[in-house]
Amino acid sequence: MPELPEVETTRRGLLPYATGRRLDGLRIRDHRLRWPVDPGVAGRVAGRDITALERRGKYLIFRLSGDASLLLHLGMSGHVRVVALNTPVAAHDHVDFVLDSGVVLRFNDPRRFGSLHEAGALPDEHPLLERLGPEPLSDAFDGGHLWRISRGRRVAVKNLIMDSHVVVGVGNIYAAEALHRSGIHPSRPAGRVSQQRYAQLATDIKAVLGEAIEAGGTTLRDFARSDGLPGYFQQTLAVYGRAGEACHQCGRALKSIRLGQRATVYCPACQR
């Protein structure tokens, strides 16, 4: 599913088309997303200006004039493309953001696990956002934060850093990659990781996410950027999806286990 780098890549791709433009309307073709889309939202936001396009975790936040905002989650397979107004509608094109420039931001979601919500003037207080942890690329996230929150916890460290209440946006791909860089076994109990190792892990999480954003995200199955091109970070993955292959650092065969019902690949020699 799209993770933080993919959502941030989408935000950056949409930014020059969206900000400062008037939202002439929303065309909602299918209200049956993860949560039913309020049928009245289109009328309430039509004619408002898009003053900013932000990201919180994996949510895109369209800030609108008149103290309004919209939250868009891409779900497991969703993406947003920039298309011309007269572009034919394809299967799974559920929502159009129609702009006064003649451009349409078209949300396509084959599995319909995405969502669209009206959030008002304070989107961070929306129930879907208010309990989220710090942004991993912000100053609020560091090794000290991870160390403090992990004390006495037996949960696997990989599951801890994938908990959105601890830190947002560190999904399966990037958690596996950061733990490999830090030399930490993914199943190690979170409370048994030292403060020094958490400092390194936080640094590696920031690095992995930053590199993925610069590379345009990671395309594994469904994700594509707003320009329709794939991301290229998957070409540099060290462990994710490489079970049985040689570790780039030591040459040992990478192993796979399941944590929290997710496949987790690691190096049995490099990660302890």
Residue ranges for the binding site?
92, 111, 153
Known active-site residue 206: no
Known active-site residue 2: yes
Q: Which of 11, 58, 106, 158 is catalytic?
A: 58
249-252 contacts at long range (C-beta below 8 A, 24 or more positions apart): none
Contact 231, 220 (CB under 8 A): no
Q: Which of 27, 55, 206, 262 is catalytic?
A: 262
Q: Which of 2, 5, 136, 186 is catalytic?
A: 2
Known active-site residue 58: yes
Known active-site residue 3: yes
DSSP per-residue codes, 36-68: BPPTTHHHHHTTEEEEEEEEETTEEEEEETTTE
Reduced to 3 states, what is the DSSP secondary structure of residue 14? helix
Q: Which of 3, 6, 8, 177 is catalytic?
A: 3
φ, ψ for residue 24, nearest 5 deg: -70, -25
Residue ranges for the binding site for DNA?
92, 111, 153
φ, ψ for residue 75, nearest 5 deg: 70, -150
The residues carrying an active-site annotation are: 2-3, 58, 262
